[in-house]
A and B are shown apart, each in its own frame.
Chain A
Amino acid sequence: MATLQDRFNINSQLEHLQAKYVGTGHADLSRFEWAVNIHRDSYASYIGHHPILSYFAIAENESIGRVKYNMTQKMLLPCGVPPEKEEEL
Chain B
Amino acid sequence: MAAVDKDFAALQDERKRAEGVAADLQHAVFDQELYGGSTEGFAGYDRSIGLADTEEEMDEREQAVRSKMQSYTAPKSVIGDLPTEDGEDASGFKRPGRITDREDDYRRRRLQRMLSPSRNDAFAMGDKTPDSSVRTYADVMRDQQLAKERDNTMQNIADKLRKEEEERELDARPTKASGVQLPPPPAQPAAAAKSAAGEKRRNRWDQSNGVDAKKAKTSEWDAPEATPAVGRWDATPARPDEFGATPGRQGSRWDATPTPGRAGTEATPRRNRWDDATPTPGRVDGGATPGWAPGETPAVGATPAGKRGRSRWDETPAGVGMAGGATPMMGQTPMMGMTPAVTPMGGMDMPTPSPSSLPKVPLTAEQYQTMRMEREIEERNRFLSDEELDAMLPTEGYKVLEPPAGYAPIRTPARKLIGTPTPIGGTPLYHLPEEEHGQKFDVPVQLEGLPELKPEDHQYFGKLLKEVEDEQLTVEEMKERKIMKLLLKVKNGTPPQRKSALRQLTDKAREFGAGPLFNQILPLLMSPTLEDQERHLLVKVIDRILYKLDELVRPFVHKILVVIEPLLIDEDYYARVEGREIIANLSKAAGLATMIAAMRPDIDNIDEYVRNTTARAFSVVASALGIPALLPFLKAVCQSKKSWQARHTGIKIVQQIAILMGCAVLPHLKSMVDIIKHGLTDENQKVKTITALTVSALAEAASPYGIESFDDVLEPLWKGIRLLRGKVLAAFLKAIGCIIPLMDAMYASYYTKEVMVVLVREFQTPDEEMKKIVLKVVQQCVATEGVEPNYVRAEILPEFFRSFWVRRMALDRRNYRALVETTVELANKVGCADILGRIVEDLKDESEPYRRMVMETIDKVVRDLGTADVDARLEELLIDGILYAFQEQVSDDANVMLNGFGTVVNSLKMRAKPYLPQICGTIKWRLNNKSAKIRQQAADLIARIAVVMKACDEEKLLGHLGVVLYEYLGEEYPEVLGSILGALKSIVNVIGMTKMTPPIKDLLPRLTPILKNRHEKVQENCIDLVGRIADRGAEFVPAREWMRICFELLEMLKAHKKGIRRATVNTFGYIAKAIGPQDVLVTLLNNLKVQERQNRVCTTVAIAIVAETCSPFTVLPALMNEYKVPELNVQNGVLKALSFLFEYIGEMGKDYIYAVSPLLEDALMDRDLVHRQTAASVVQHMALGVAGLGCEDALTHLLNYVWPNIFETSPHVVNAVMGAVDGCRLALGPAIVLNYLLQGLFHPARKVREVYWRLYNNLYIGAQDALVACYPRLENDGINSFSRQELDIFI
Contacts and interface: CB of A to CB of B under 8 A. Distances in A.
Nearest to A89: B1242
Interface stretch (B151-159, B880-888, B1279-1287): B1279-1287
A45 B1268 CA distance: 7
B1260 A29 contact: no
A12 B1211 CA distance: 11
Contacts of A65: none
B132 interface: no
Interface stretch (B114-122, B688-696, B1251-1259): B1251-1259
Contact of B1214 (A11, A23, A34): A11
Given A2-B1212, A31-B1242, A23 B1280 contact: no
B1243 to A, nearest CB: 9
Contact of B1211 (A10, A18, A42): A10
Interface in B41-66: none
A32 B1043 CA distance: 67
B1291 interface: yes
Interface string B1124-1158: 00000000000000000000000000000000000
Interface string B549-592: 00000000000000000000000000000000000000000000
A21 B1261 contact: yes
B1229 to A, nearest CB: 16
Given A21-B1261, A27-B1246, A89-B1242, A55 B1291 contact: yes
Interface string B1159-1173: 000000000010000
A41 B1261 CA distance: 12
A60 B1288 CA distance: 12
B1254 A18 contact: yes
Contacts of B1249: 27
A83 B1279 contact: yes
A39 B1212 CA distance: 35
Interface residues of A, number: 38
B1286 A58 contact: no
**Which are the 8 A-B pairs with shortest beta-carbon distances?**
A18-B1257, A27-B1249, A10-B1211, A24-B1257, A45-B1268, A79-B1280, A59-B1289, A27-B1250
A89 B1242 CA distance: 9
Interface in B1194-1229: 1209-1212, 1214-1215, 1218
Interface string B1258-1272: 101100110110010
A1 interface: yes
A7 B1210 contact: yes
A52 to B, nearest CB: 9
A58 B1291 contact: yes
Interface in A9-47: 9-11, 14-15, 18, 21, 23-27, 29, 31-32, 34-35, 38-39, 41-42, 45-46
Given A18-B1258, A79-B1282, A41 B1264 contact: yes
Given A14-B1254, A23-B1264, A42-B1284, A56 B1289 contact: yes
Contact of B1268 (A29, A31, A41, A83): A41
A6 interface: yes
B1261 A18 contact: yes
A21 to B, nearest CB: 6
Contacts of B1212: 2
B1274 interface: yes
Given A2-B1211, A45-B1265, A58-B1291, A25 B1257 contact: yes
A2 B1210 contact: yes
Contacts of B1241: 25, 34
Contacts of A51: none
A9 B1210 CA distance: 12
A89 B1243 CA distance: 11
A80 B1279 contact: yes
Contact of A1 (B1210, B1215, B1265, B1271): B1210
Question: Interface on chain B toward A: helix, strand, loop, or mixed SS?
Answer: helix
Contacts of B1287: 42
A81 to B, nearest CB: 8
Contacts of A21: 1257, 1260-1261
B780 to A, nearest CB: 46
B1211 A15 contact: no
Contacts of A24: 1256-1257, 1260-1261
Contacts of A59: 1289-1291
29 contacts: A2-B1210, A6-B1211, A7-B1210, A10-B1214, A10-B1215, A11-B1214, A14-B1254, A15-B1254, A21-B1261, A23-B1260, A24-B1261, A25-B1256, A25-B1257, A31-B1274, A35-B1282, A38-B1284, A41-B1265, A41-B1267, A42-B1268, A42-B1284, A46-B1286, A48-B1265, A55-B1289, A56-B1289, A59-B1290, A79-B1281, A79-B1282, A80-B1280, A81-B1280
Interface string B1229-1257: 00000000000011000100110011011
Interface of A: 1-2, 6-7, 9-11, 14-15, 18, 21, 23-27, 29, 31-32, 34-35, 38-39, 41-42, 45-46, 48, 55-56, 58-60, 79-81, 83, 89
A9 to B, nearest CB: 8
Contacts of B1274: 31, 35, 38
Interface residues of B, number: 36
A62 to B, nearest CB: 12
A22 to B, nearest CB: 10
B736 to A, nearest CB: 50
Nearest to B1268: A45
A32 B1267 contact: no
Contacts of A83: 1279-1280
A34 B1257 CA distance: 12
Contacts of A48: 1265
Interface in B653-702: none
Contacts of B1209: 7
A48 B1286 CA distance: 15
Contacts of A27: 1246, 1249-1250, 1253
Contact of A35 (B1267, B1280, B1291): B1280
A33 to B, nearest CB: 11
Given A11-B1214, A29-B1253, 9 more contacts: A2-B1210, A11-B1211, A14-B1218, A31-B1282, A46-B1286, A48-B1265, A55-B1291, A79-B1282, A81-B1280
Contacts of B1257: 18, 21, 24-25
A64 to B, nearest CB: 14
B1276 to A, nearest CB: 9
Interface in B835-881: none
Contacts of A35: 1274, 1280, 1282
Nearest to A25: B1253
Contacts of A41: 1264-1265, 1267-1268
B777 to A, nearest CB: 50
A32 B1282 CA distance: 8
Contacts of A80: 1279-1281
Contacts of B1246: 27
Contacts of A11: 1211, 1214, 1254
Nearest to A18: B1257
Contacts of B1290: 59
Of B1211, B1256, B1281, most buried by chain A (CB within 10 Å of CB) is B1211
B1254 A56 contact: no
Contacts of B1264: 23, 41
B1242 to A, nearest CB: 7
A10 B1218 CA distance: 12
A55 B439 CA distance: 92
A5 to B, nearest CB: 9
Contact of A26 (B1253, B1267, B1268, B1286): B1253
A5 B1111 CA distance: 42
Contacts of B1284: 38-39, 42
A81 B1279 CA distance: 8
Of A26, A27, A31, A42, most buried by chain B (CB within 10 Å of CB) is A27
